[in-house]
């Protein structure tokens, strides 16, 4: 249980720092005239809050992380940094921490911690994919094209445009657990 608690605290700290930088990146994108990229960063910050909530629930303890000082760059720099961060979380950090707690996954506590981590890992991979779409638009001098943004309130998965299918690709919950957070309702 100690490995899981330690891992969850690391993740809560990382996700909390991500919220802070994504909020600043959203503001910067709006200032730079990239409304939709700003909306994407806003959605990302909300998704990371869901990861924090899930990790805190799994931790079964109150934990307040120390946050880093941030200094957002240009919208392009912020998108590049976000892609790097989300990709590293999905491909390195989460897999390493999930492996680290393997011996505790036979307990109820360990199962909840692992599930929280697995959902976040899958979602971070999707976040990186969405950010790459934003990067492609930016590199061609445009804003990200989107009509709507939906956010799964269970795992933090983000879907641009219309909800397709009957459940979340990450956690399997029905689309009733998605909130539309951008675009005309």
pLDDT for the residue 51:
97
Domain count, the chain: 1
64-94 pLDDT, tens digit each: 999 989 888 999 999 999 999 999 999 999 9
Residue 47, domain extent? 2-182
pLDDT for the residue 23:
97
CATH code, 111:
1.20.1260.10
At residue 47, does pLDDT exceed 60? Answer: yes
Provide mean pLDDT across the span 13-21: 96
141-175 pLDDT, tens digit each: 999 999 899 999 999 999 987 787 778 999 999 98
Using the structure block, give the residue that is written with the tokens 């779409």.
133
Provide mean pLDDT across the span 87-112: 90
CA–CA separation, 39 and 72 (whole Å)? 16
């Amino acid at each position: 249980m100690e490995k899981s608690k330690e891992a969850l605290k690391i993740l809560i700290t990382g996700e909390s720092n991500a919220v802070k930088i994504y909020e600043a990146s959203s503001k910067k994108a709006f200032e730079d005239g990239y409304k939709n990229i700003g909306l994407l960063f806003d959605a990302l910050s909300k998704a990371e809050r869901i990861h924090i909530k899930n990790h805190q629930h799994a931790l079964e303890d109150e934990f307040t992380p120390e946050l880093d000082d941030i200094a957002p760059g240009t919208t392009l720099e912020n998108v590049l940094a976000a892609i790097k961060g989300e990709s590293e979380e999905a491909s390195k950090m989460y897999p390493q921490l999930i492996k680290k707690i393997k011996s505790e996954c036979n307990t109820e506590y360990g199962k909840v911690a692992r599930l929280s981590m697995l959902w976040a890992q899958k979602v971070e991979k999707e976040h990186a994919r969405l950010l790459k779409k934003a990067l492609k638009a930016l590199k061609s001098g445009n804003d990200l094209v989107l009509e709507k943004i939906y956010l799964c309130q269970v795992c933090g998965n983000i879907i641009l445009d219309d909800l397709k299918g009957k459940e979340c690709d990450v956690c399997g919950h029905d689309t009733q657990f998605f909130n539309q957070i951008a675009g005309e309702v």
